[in-house]
Amino acid sequence: MQRFYHEFPPIYSSHSKVLILGSFPSVKSREISFYYGHKMNRFWKVLSNIYQEEEPLTNQERTQFILEHNLALWDVIESCEIQGSSDSSIKNVKVNDIPNLIKNSNIKLIICNGTKSYNLFLKYIEGIDIKVIKFPSTSPANAACGLDRLIEEYKVILNYAI
């Protein structure tokens, strides 16, 4: 199995209040060097729905969207061995320095996009006294969870990011 590295930075500012964590970028996201790059991933559709705005389409629009809404975006894993985009194949994990990001922002809530990011966060990240919530994954692999349910779950962001 090949080792891959997270090659693009977190998106955040000192004003960020909600940190959304994935596990590790998909093949498509690694190709375009940006978060949730697979066209079937519902992440950007969910966020645009909860904020009742047009869906951001370019990396620049998506970065602006995250920052304008006091959000932060990153992944738990800095590097790992992975087959394709399969979270279940992830091995030999090295994690990102999430505590440092939190020190340089105003994070009040951490949302894990899916079970894998949540379990990795609990296993490897220590010393953070902030509420952590596991949400259903927006990945197309999570077909059992419909768009309406995702939107309803992720609406909690609005209670923290304003």
Q: What is the pLDDT of residue 97?
A: 96
Reported residue count of the chain is 162
Residues 41, 25: contact at Cβ < 8 Å? no
Q: What is the CATH number of the domain that holds 14?
A: 3.40.470.10
Give the three-class secondary structure for 139: coil
Both tokens of 109, joined, read: 């809530």
- Full domain range(s) for residue 109: 3-159
Query: Whose CA is closest to 156, among 111, 121, 115, 117?
Result: 111
Q: Output the pTM of the full model.
A: 0.95
Residues of the chain with pLDDT under 50: none
Total structural domains within the chain? 1
The tens digit of pLDDT for each residue in 72-90 reads: 999 999 999 999 988 889 9
Strands 77-81, 91-95: pairing is antiparallel
Please provide residue 112's backbone torsions phi and psi, each rounded to the nearest 5 degrees: -100, 120
